[in-house]
Chain A
């Protein structure tokens, strides 16, 4: 980027996702989408793609769309293929002199539409090398259908399909490490970010993803006050705690080179992130200390491994 990042200047740009959409107050998704779209150069056009999701049903309810750019939604599991289809059309029509100018192609899908049902479509589109950006706004469960577990839901989290009861203590399995799976696709750019602080990390990575030729993938943590069960005004705090506990490390892999984007001044214990959230409440009951210890152990291991990969 030519200019130094300045949040005030960025938010003064005309929005490409307008207000009036129907996302919940305090939802991370709207902040993530606005943040990514702000990274487009103002003069460039874009086609935005959505998987079926909270985001889709809240931003394009007939006859109103919140997007200033062209937009397409087709189904839940095919947003990557859909984006690749638009890109294919652009290539064909450009070759035949029927379209001109720069058009960028950006997909947004939740973790259900990315880690699970849209996984094949995503992997295929990345392997084929379309010039597109796939953004997963990761809120760690199927929120649109009412908070069911996905393969992104973290260990022990309570959801409506991993409830807590006398014989169940939330999700039994680990969260899938999708970002690393995307790294294994050997695509030009993969990054993990979050709507943190002044959004500089989110903005920089989005701009890089949009303006790097070829398939790029962004995994963006997107807290959900309904599903995570925390006060809706605390989006920024929850995001910061996810990053400062190293539950959600910020890093990027550019042409195979791993780079850590943020090292917390003081790495906080995972309880700090988990305590404010109802989905982890059962872990703080007497006798369940082992659960927090287990999560801490895993977070530490993954952080160490990431430090090694990034040479930090």
Chain B
């Protein structure tokens, strides 16, 4: 079924089709529409979810943790400071091995307060033990939510899943998209059947112990193993999803990378802009390509190294400023992924698009120009720079 939906409505529609047991709901721009749409589904009797309208995102995640531990399938949506308020509990959710689904509509973190898109919110949660899957557009935002539960609930994974989409750019723009039949979605996702849960009559369960040093490390290693195992499961679910949808997904997407010499690595909606720029450059004979990271946790290091093999110069584009003074988080991951390669491309880091700063095909083409120059001269210049900001003179 083809529909014209915004990213938020598409996600809300997916949640309606999934009809989760419990949803924690708290408003924050730009994710607010998701609980709004869902509240209407509840009011219209189209779902029979327990819709818990909490007093903060902290309580939203607390409700999800407790409800999932109790045996329910739970979801919530948030953005920016809302996700930051959840940080403590994201770690709790992951360490309790609770496959909650969270939709993060990416927005800049305060301060200063800003409601527009960048990835600083979910990047701040990158080490919390959640699987993170990023969407380029509305279609992917919808598809990722439907794939989240079959990934997270797998017994040998049992990890929470965060599906991310760019605030406003994806969440509010309306696009043509393909929706699956609700029956197909329900069959695909199936029933949630946890082995142990608080409300299981036959066997009480205790969750969230004080874990002393004699056990803590073993538990963390199990968590780390689960994250490694998630990689294969994500691909398996993608393959199953392709069978019902015809749409194919990997850990990353390679765009015109077969013979690319110059390449970008980036996340999210900018991939659309970059693809247009790559096409234009290809017409001019430039061997340009793009790697879009779809799954950031677990990080597809080997796959990325393979994708970049044969390139001469690569720009890693971070839509968040990590303040490490050594580049953004995607850059660090990419550097690590390439370190063991015999032949490495020149690598630079561009931090861009903070707080909704626009990025155009022109900006991307200019960046490819810089990469061409690096490939030719071997002179990198500054490894880590920002893009799109005005100079002090321009501001004055």
Residues of A within 8 A of B (CB): 45, 47, 49, 56-57, 60-63, 65, 67-75, 77-78, 81-86, 88-93, 95-96, 98-101, 103, 120-121, 123-125, 127-128
B contacts with A, residue count (CB < 8 A):
43
| Cβ 8 A contact of B69, one of A65, A86, A99 | A86
B71 at the interface (CB under 8 A from A): yes
- Determine if A88 and B72 form an interchain contact, defined as CB atoms under 8 angstroms apart: yes
- Determine if B209 and A103 form an interchain contact, defined as CB atoms under 8 angstroms apart: no
- Determine if A124 and B206 form an interchain contact, defined as CB atoms under 8 angstroms apart: no
Interface residues of B in 59-112 (CB under 8 A from A): 59, 62-72, 74, 88-89, 92, 96
- Determine if A128 and B52 form an interchain contact, defined as CB atoms under 8 angstroms apart: yes
- Determine if B210 and A60 form an interchain contact, defined as CB atoms under 8 angstroms apart: yes
> 3 nearest interchain CB pairs?
A85-B66, A124-B55, A89-B70
- Determine if A78 and B62 form an interchain contact, defined as CB atoms under 8 angstroms apart: yes
Q: Which residues of B contact A74 (CB under 8 A)?
A: 62, 65-66, 89, 92, 96, 207-208
Residue among B48, B56, B59, B201 with max Cβ neighbours from chain A (10 Å):
B59
Contact A75/B53 with A65-B209, A69-B204, A93-B72 known, Cβ cut-off 8 Å: no
- Determine if A73 and B207 form an interchain contact, defined as CB atoms under 8 angstroms apart: yes
Q: Which residues of B contact A120 (CB under 8 A)?
A: 55-56, 59
Interface residues of B in 329-380 (CB under 8 A from A): none
B184 at the interface (CB under 8 A from A): no
- Given contact pairs A62-B209, A72-B70, a sample of 13 additional A-B residue pairs in the complex whose CB atoms are under 8 Å apart: A45-B201, A47-B198, A71-B198, A72-B207, A81-B66, A85-B64, A85-B65, A88-B67, A89-B68, A89-B198, A92-B21, A120-B56, A125-B59
Distance between Cα atoms of A16 and B199 in the complex (Å)? 16
Nearest CB of chain B from residue A217's CB, rounded to whole Å: 16
Q: Which residues of B contact A121 (CB under 8 A)?
A: 55-56, 58-59, 62
Nearest CB of chain A from residue B123's CB, rounded to whole Å: 23
| Cβ 8 A contact of B70, one of A67, A90, A101 | A90
Contact A81/B210 with A70-B205, A88-B52, A89-B199 known, Cβ cut-off 8 Å: no
- Determine if B55 and A101 form an interchain contact, defined as CB atoms under 8 angstroms apart: no
| Cβ 8 A contact of B62, one of A81, A90, A128 | A81
B323 at the interface (CB under 8 A from A): no
B54 at the interface (CB under 8 A from A): yes
Q: Which residues of A contact B66 (CB under 8 A)?
A: 49, 72, 74, 81-86, 88-89
Interface residues of B in 188-205 (CB under 8 A from A): 198-201, 204-205
Residue among B64, B200, B206 with max Cβ neighbours from chain A (10 Å):
B206
Contact A77/B58 with A70-B206, A85-B70, A93-B71 known, Cβ cut-off 8 Å: yes
Contact A85/B58 with A56-B210, A72-B208, A128-B52 known, Cβ cut-off 8 Å: no
